[in-house]
Structure 1
């Protein structure tokens, strides 16, 4: 016969068992925290058809990339409880996530479609333990979609005024656009596009070595009416500004509703961004289900659906697979820019502490001008 203490223990374990199971994922389940609208419903339906019936697939959409990064931070503070197998992470957060040990490497040997990614995209996610690029480093994420920083403009206002539409970064300095531009509130983006205009890389290691940079930034600031990383589209829609610099996934949402707003990728190249699948720290060995999902997202059919039904593109179409792009997607110059423009474009890569300090100094000086 059980004594009172044993009865209480059994009762307690029975009560908390459901809670414990909800905090962990089993080997037969696949829990994915995904950026909202980055995976089309059609894709999920196709994957479920080939996912084993004895396993559960739980897709949890999250509205912001920043919230997904915060989820990774919070997961570590909860004794590494395994609450998701895969999480969407923006490449700009990859360095920090590695350094803080929020994620763990992925094994790509079993991924049939890893080689579908261009070499430069494979290098993007090969890092050392401090999050720096390392050609011999482990793979810390798998890119599944990408976009770029673009220029949007009011075609109707340019046409009425008799001005040529913008085609490159240098057009932001045109006199007729004074007080008619909205920019992202992002030092890497704004200083980076200015570097590009002057013929330098977004990832220039020493800003002090460029004599014209401070003057160019001061002049650009005089052109700007509005800085924001969240509300930069509103002034363009309301015609308070004629030009906006922003991210392609945001601007592509406006094309149907606002046909007078046109979008271009600057011909001298631009900044690229990628959404990655990452594996949170605390998970056991990479399961077959995780590899199955990643491989599925990198096959041409899935890539087509990502390109057609979301405001981004799949990286597998960047080089050898361009002949497999549907006509409507192939003709889209934002989702499928020319090889020449892509070759001039860059990811925003990790900077040294010294360069980071320079960026902050140049940014403060620009905004005071």
Structure 2
């Protein structure tokens, strides 16, 4: 049964709440109400913001990005005095949020109140800009990676092509995600995750189709949620997923190795967005606060992702030595954010994915 799990964090009450369920998390009207991802913001950051800004925060944390997306879609049905002023969403939901008019743009006058925006990498600035309008503020990021059992395999996985090795026959888990799976095959072929007009590129499309068919024969399961459980239970020996999940799993099993493919990968980010409705003055202050050097260092050191801030001098050397959080510049240069596709190309991806999953490819 699907169960919603959340915590409400507010200043000194954080420790006292523990695992208790709170029936009305946004009852207070005089506070900055934030809906975020469980574990993405260290609890002490909330205390620090309250002390610095003299603003109380109510932080409702969902345990999965998909839950946050569901909550954002339900925003119009939430009473005004309980509705969040800020919501964290994954970058893959940004365009849907814009199309459904669930969020409002961060106008130039608001951006002026977020000075750390100007110091963000162009990669992150461009990722949230549509038609010269900014729709969110990235605050942390990670990558698609491969986790594998070093005690079960006699070779090291280093690149996407290793997933086709015979030792992984029916011992592989892939995300239940068309863009990720088709994208990694394109990356293996030396192409981009964003390749447009697949069908019109006959040679590439023929190779892509054959590679997908071959890869599908390796797969035991497609899962975006439970792929690590299968890996830890010995059902699979390798899995493609996300670095934020894999960091946690490594702590459970020292035989679990995580690698960023040498030929590049997909990048993801979590964003703060402003739902359509009343704007809280403290919202811009919070978004800027999350990108300050001290807080960026805490997000990077104490969570399973890396701050989007470019000012990471305060991150401890031991954390910067982590090859999963701070992988080589060469691999980073070859990596890319998964960007929106044209409607016609998106249809081609969906058709190809349907054939793959139905075994008719």
TM over 0.5: yes
CA distance in 2, matches of 1:234, 1:77: 35
Offset at residue 298 of structure 1 (A) = 0.0
Task: Report what 2:95 is aligned to.
Answer: 95
Question: Contact conserved, 2:300 with 2:315, CA < 8 A, in 1?
Answer: no
Is the counterpart of residue 85 in structure 1 residue 80 in structure 2? no
Task: Report what 2:128 is aligned to.
Answer: 125
Offset at residue 70 of structure 1 (A) = 1.7
CA distance in 1, matches of 2:117, 2:243: 25
Task: Report what 1:9 is aligned to.
Answer: none
Task: Report what 2:283 is aligned to.
Answer: 290
Say which SS state the counterpart of residue 217 (structure 2) adopts.
Answer: helix
Is the counterpart of residue 345 in structure 1 residue 347 in structure 2? no
Question: Contact conserved, 1:153 with 1:243, CA < 8 A, in 2?
Answer: yes
CA distance in 1, matches of 2:313, 2:36: 29
Which residue of 115, 121, 125 maps to 1:112? 115
Which residue of 304, 327, 330 maps to 2:320? 330
Judging changes above 3 Å, is the alpha-carbon distance between structure 1 residues 150 and 100 closer, same or farther for their aligned structure 2 residues? same
Show CA shifts across 1:312-348 (max 9, x none): 111224xxx4544311111011111122111111111
Q: Report how many aligned residue pairs link the two structures.
A: 329
TM-score (norm 1): 0.85
Question: Contact conserved, 1:32 with 1:60, CA < 8 A, in 2?
Answer: yes
Task: Report what 1:131 is aligned to.
Answer: none
Offset at residue 175 of structure 1 (A) = 2.0
Say which SS state the counterpart of residue 115 (structure 2) adopts.
Answer: coil
Question: Contact conserved, 1:116 with 1:298, CA < 8 A, in 2?
Answer: no
CA distance in 1, matches of 2:57, 2:313: 32
Offset at residue 36 of structure 1 (A) = 0.9
Question: Contact conserved, 2:293 with 2:312, CA < 8 A, in 1?
Answer: no
CA distance in 2, matches of 1:353, 1:80: 35
Say which SS state the counterpart of residue 316 (structure 1) adopts.
Answer: coil
Matches within 5 A, 1:200-215: 200-208=191-199, 209=201, 210=204, 211-215=206-210
CA distance in 1, matches of 2:329, 2:28: 42
Show CA shifts across 1:290-315 (max 9, x none): 12111110011111111111111112
TM-score (norm 2): 0.86
Offset at residue 352 of structure 1 (A) = 1.5
CA distance in 1, matches of 2:342, 2:238: 32
Offset at residue 116 of structure 1 (A) = 2.3
CA distance in 1, matches of 2:26, 2:217: 52
Judging changes above 3 Å, is the alpha-carbon distance between structure 1 residues 48 and 196 closer, same or farther for their aligned structure 2 residues? same
Which residue of 300, 306, 309 maps to 1:307? 300
Matches within 5 A, 1:1-369: 28-52=30-54, 55-77=55-77, 83-106=83-106, 107-127=110-130, 134=131, 137-158=132-153, 163-208=154-199, 209=201, 210=204, 211-284=206-279, 287=281, 289-317=282-310, 321=311, 323-367=313-357, 368=359, 369=361
Offset at residue 156 of structure 1 (A) = 0.9
Judging changes above 3 Å, is the alpha-carbon distance between structure 1 residues 22 and 198 closer, same or farther for their aligned structure 2 residues? closer
CA distance in 2, matches of 1:305, 1:254: 21
Question: Contact conserved, 2:168 with 2:237, CA < 8 A, in 1?
Answer: yes
RMSD: 1.9
Structure 1: gaps of 5 or more residues = 1-20, 128-133
Say which SS state the counterpart of residue 256 (structure 1) adopts.
Answer: helix
CA distance in 1, matches of 2:52, 2:340: 38
CA distance in 1, matches of 2:229, 2:147: 12
Offset at residue 82 of structure 1 (A) = 6.5
Structure 2: gaps of 5 or more residues = 1-23
Question: Contact conserved, 1:150 with 1:270, CA < 8 A, in 2?
Answer: yes
